[in-house]
Amino acid sequence: MPRTSEKTRRHILDCAYELFYRKGFGRVGVDEIAASSGVTKRTLYYHFESKDELLATVLNLHHELALARIRKYQDRYSGDAANIVGLLFAELAKWSKKPGWTGAGFTRLVMELADLPGHPARAVARRHKAAVERWYTELLERAGVSSPGERAREIALLAEGTTALILIHGDRSYAETAARAAKRLVQK
């Protein structure tokens, strides 16, 4: 049964995401994406003008999916601020145990594109990280933390650093260390 145009587009996006996440943007070619998707290069270019546009579209989709996951599990993040940040870093440690984990895809891709400040994928990544930071702010506001925006910014720094150090050292105890530091930050 032939795919519809929208199903084909989505399949290309899903295959491209897997390849970009696993290998990085620079190490994946359009030929490989087309082959993985089971389409011709012509079909791929029918749906996406360029590899850059494909990456930006992939990130937009996964930005929306990540925010939907956050909203789905939002109720778990309740109680006092220490419990909230403890759970955030416990989830980060749990996530890092998944087979094939390679850190935060948005961060990795932006680092790969560091010399291309106008790349459309960088704008998507900025929007995603800002949305996560706003979510941290909302959680901390509900928990009654003073200066929740500033604390959220600090927790975002801790989360990014923790992810990088777990990836570099393969040591998940960085999440516990970051959780202790975050708990000190949110004390009233």
**pLDDT tens digits for range 91-117:** 999 999 998 888 888 888 888 999 998
The single-letter code of the amino acid at 95 is W
The pLDDT confidence band at residue 2, using thresholds 50, 70 and 90, is low
Can you give the pLDDT at residue 188? 63
Burial class, 145, CB count within 10 angstroms (exposed 0-12 / middle 13-18 / buried 19+): buried
Residue 1 has pLDDT above 80, yes or no: no
Main-chain dihedrals φ then ψ at residue 113, nearest 5 degrees: -105, 20
- Asked if 61 and 166 count as a contact pair (C-beta separation under 8 A), the reply is no
Can you give the pLDDT at residue 154? 98
pLDDT in tens, 143-169: 999 999 999 999 999 999 999 999 999
Q: Containing H/E element for 119?
A: none
Can you give the pLDDT at residue 86? 96
Q: Identify the structural domains of the chain with CATH numbers, from first to last.
A: 1-48 (1.10.10.60), 59-185 (1.10.357.10)
